[in-house]
């Protein structure tokens, strides 16, 4: 897999596993100012890690099944998002506005 680039208002899906996507395979968000992340299987918990390129990653606690993670980011800020599921192979939905 390769870096998934998301720029501007859009929604993309990225397949997850029980391991992080890993360096070079993250989701790179370059556009928008509002981001929402959730998986398409409401019965599976998941964890998200994010960072600004060149900085240390910050991981969320494991999100409960059915939860979403949303936040505002500065326009022009590049953000790398990494994620993993607690089980199975759900898709992570990435919505940028």
pLDDT digits (tens, 9 = 90+) for 38-71: 999 989 999 999 998 888 889 888 998 889 999 9
**Cα 13 to Cα 6, 55, 96, distances in angstroms:** 10, 25, 12
pLDDT digits (tens, 9 = 90+) for 3-35: 888 887 889 999 999 999 998 999 999 989 999
The one-character DSSP state at 83 is E
Name the residue among 78, 74, 79, 8 with its Cα closest to residue 48. 79
- Please state the pTM of the whole predicted model: 0.87
**What pLDDT shows up at residue 1?**
58
Region 64-88 average pLDDT: 91
**What pLDDT shows up at residue 87?**
95
**What pLDDT shows up at residue 7?**
83
């Amino acid at each position: 897999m390769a870096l998934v680039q998301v720029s501007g208002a859009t929604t993309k899906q990225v397949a997850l596993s029980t391991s992080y996507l890993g360096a070079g395979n993250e989701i790179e968000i370059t556009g928008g100012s509002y981001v929402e992340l959730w998986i398409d299987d409401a019965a599976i918990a998941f964890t998200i890690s994010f960072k600004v390129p060149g900085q240390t990653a910050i991981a969320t606690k494991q999100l409960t099944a059915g939860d979403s993670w949303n936040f505002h980011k500065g326009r022009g800020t590049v953000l790398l998002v990494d994620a993993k599921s607690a089980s199975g192979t759900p898709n992570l939905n990435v919505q940028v506005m």
